[in-house]
């Protein structure tokens, strides 16, 4: 039996929560395979038969647009002898799925359509009327502002209840478009992290690490910015993306984090993303036309850097970035890094999202690479016998709690990790059937 009280204490956790296979399996069963998991964006599936394969916990799934226009999420498994129906990451399957083994065919909602020589089943308990002949579907599928989620559990909170305050991630992203919508850029960076998924989630709101981990990149970018200014030039915005990482400890400590129930959280804004140039002016004018000045300014003025949707999603809404985790083993996590276009804005504004995608979130940048190295080294340390506990003592006892929301006026507080482990304990406590 799992003794959670021996693993998670208010100010520290036992290292095995990052390394143990049985704990990982329970995370998959109790968290990923029960809660709402992000599958993709509606704009990935434009036509009937468009599909994308997606991993929900240990389950390979297919997200597909049906002939009725609805998006469904099905198990990627033929009901005959189990062969996966879709081998590609994305594509169009036409009006049916056809199994590559014995040609059973299925409608896009998973119902069986045809079985070769089906009279061979006469008199058996396997007939086309038997639901066991059809592809099993996710228990629930729902979307919010175009972002599609599925839950493998028929019970539990609704999508909006699950997202809670963290739904601002999608509002903030979409409201920045004068049409109120975004479209996915259908290419993602995929990174294999050699570390437990929790390293990524903790790191996203960890404001103590950037000025250390990303110092070399931040300082170098800052030098270039200064040089350009000395030459009378305005440095392009992308240098600012990098140079802010090298802000002082004190500056980082002044950035607030907000920690919601269920482990979700926000790191408030710290970058200036509203330069005074003609492209920005044109963009702001379009937002004023769409929403009126007051609402447009409210949308543009939201103080958000990251929104974290626990346990697997990090959304940088002001720059239309989304990173989703697909854990594969205690020490192996796949991350998918996506970005989006704001509908109805110029190419110049879109390029800002693309810069961030490539300069900060891509595996080829020094920023992501430096984080990845820390997490790998962290995993090695926790797999060693050098100590049993992971410390989350920073500012412990100094946080404010109101209505289940924990505020920390110290950006570098480890309130973030403590809040995530509160949620983790809730999930893990539930008995699996
Ligand atoms: S395994 Fe799919 S048709 Fe036989
Ligand atoms: Fe980082």
pLDDT digit string, tens, across residues 26-74:
999 999 999 999 999 999 999 999 999 999 999 999 999 999 999 999 9
Please give the pLDDT value at position 432: 59
Q: How far is the CA of 118 from the centre of ligand 1 (A)?
A: 13
Which pLDDT score, from 0 to 100, does residue 2 have?
80
* Beta carbons of 388 and 6 less than 8 angstroms apart: no
Give pLDDT, residue 256. 87
- Measured from the CB, is residue 80 less than 6 Å from ligand 1? yes
Which atom of ligand 1 is nearest to 102's Cα?
A: 3
Average pLDDT score over residue span 238-260: 92
Give the Cα separation of 153 and 74 in Å (integer): 13
pLDDT classification of 274: cutoffs 50, 70, 90: confident
Taking the C-alpha atoms of residue 276 and residue 412, their distance in angstroms, rounded to an integer, is 31
CA–CA distances in Å: residue 294 to residues 83, 85, 86, 132, 211: 55, 50, 48, 55, 35
Grade residue 110 by pLDDT with cuts at 50, 70 and 90: very high
Average pLDDT on 223-228 reads 97
Q: What is the mean pLDDT of the chain?
A: 95
* Residue to mutate (ligand 1; options 102, 110, 118; most atoms within 8 A of CB): 102
Q: How confident is the model at residue 275 (pLDDT cuts 50, 70, 90)?
A: confident
Q: Residue whose CA is closest, atom 1 of ligand 1?
A: 81
Instruction: State whether the beta carbon of 427 lies less than 6 angstroms from ligand 1.
Output: no
| 126 within ligand 1 shell (Cβ under 6 A) | no
How many A from CA of 361 to the centre of ligand 2? Answer: 10
pLDDT of residue 433 exceeding 80 = no
Is 377 near ligand 1, meaning CB less than 6 Å away? Answer: no
pLDDT at 404 over 90: no
Which ligand is located closest to the Cα atom of residue 203? 2
Q: For residue 81, give the ligand 1 atom closest to its CA.
A: 1
Residues 6+ apart with CB under 8 A from 70: 109
Q: Is the pTM of this model over 0.85?
A: yes
Please list the alpha-helical segments (H only) found in 180-247.
197-204, 210-213, 215-230, 237-243
- Ligand 1 within 6 A of CB of 101: yes
Average pLDDT estimate for 407-421: 91
pLDDT per residue over 146-175, tens digit each? Answer: 999 999 999 999 999 999 999 999 999 999
């Amino acid at each position: 039996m799992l003794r959670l009280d021996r693993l998670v204490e208010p100010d520290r956790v036992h290292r095995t929560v990052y390394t143990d296979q049985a704990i990982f399996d329970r995370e998959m069963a109790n968290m990923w395979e029960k809660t709402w998991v992000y599958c993709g964006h509606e704009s990935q599936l434009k036509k009937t038969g468009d599909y994308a394969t997606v991993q929900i916990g240990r389950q390979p799934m297919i997200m597909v647009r049906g002939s009725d226009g609805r998006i469904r999420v099905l198990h990627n498994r033929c009901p005959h002898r189990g062969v996966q129906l879709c081998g590609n990451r994305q594509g169009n399957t036409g009006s049916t799925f056809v199994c590559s083994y014995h040609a059973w065919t299925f409608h896009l909602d998973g119902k069986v359509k045809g079985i070769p020589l089906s009279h061979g089943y006469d008199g058996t308990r396997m007939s086309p009327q038997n639901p066991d002949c059809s592809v099993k579907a996710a228990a629930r599928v729902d979307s919010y502002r175009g972002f599609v989620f599925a839950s493998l559990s028929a019970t539990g909170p609704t999508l909006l209840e699950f997202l809670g305050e963290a739904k601002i991630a999608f509002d903030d992203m979409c409201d920045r478009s004068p049409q109120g919508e975004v479209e996915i850029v259908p290419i993602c960076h995929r990174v294999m992290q050699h570390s437990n998924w929790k390293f990524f989630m903790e790191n996203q709101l960890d404001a103590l690490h950037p000025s250390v981990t990303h110092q070399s990149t931040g300082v170098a970018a800052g030098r270039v910015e200064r040089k350009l200014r000395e030459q009378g030039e305005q440095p392009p915005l992308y240098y600012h993306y990098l140079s802010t990482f090298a802000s002082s400890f004190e500056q980082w400590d002044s950035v607030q984090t907000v920690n919601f129930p269920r482990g979700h959280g926000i790191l408030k804004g710290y970058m200036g993303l509203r330069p005074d140039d003609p492209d920005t002016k044109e963009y702001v004018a379009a937002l004023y036309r769409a929403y009126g000045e007051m609402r447009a300014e409210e949308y543009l003025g939201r103080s958000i850097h990251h929104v974290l949707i626990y346990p697997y999603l990090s959304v940088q809404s002001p720059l239309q970035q989304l990173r989703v985790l697909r854990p594969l083993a205690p020490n192996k996590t796949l991350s998918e890094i996506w970005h989006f276009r704001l509908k109805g804005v110029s190419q110049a504004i879109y390029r800002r999202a693309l810069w961030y995608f490539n300069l900060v979130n891509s595996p080829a940048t020094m920023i992501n690479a430096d984080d990845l190295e820390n997490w790998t080294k962290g995993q090695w340390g926790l797999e060693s016998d050098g100590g049993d506990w992971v410390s989350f003592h920073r500012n412990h006892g100094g946080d404010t709690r109101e209505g289940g929301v924990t505020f920390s006026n110290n950006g570098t507080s480890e309130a973030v990790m403590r809040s995530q482990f509160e949620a983790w304990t809730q999930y893990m406590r539930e008995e699996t059937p």
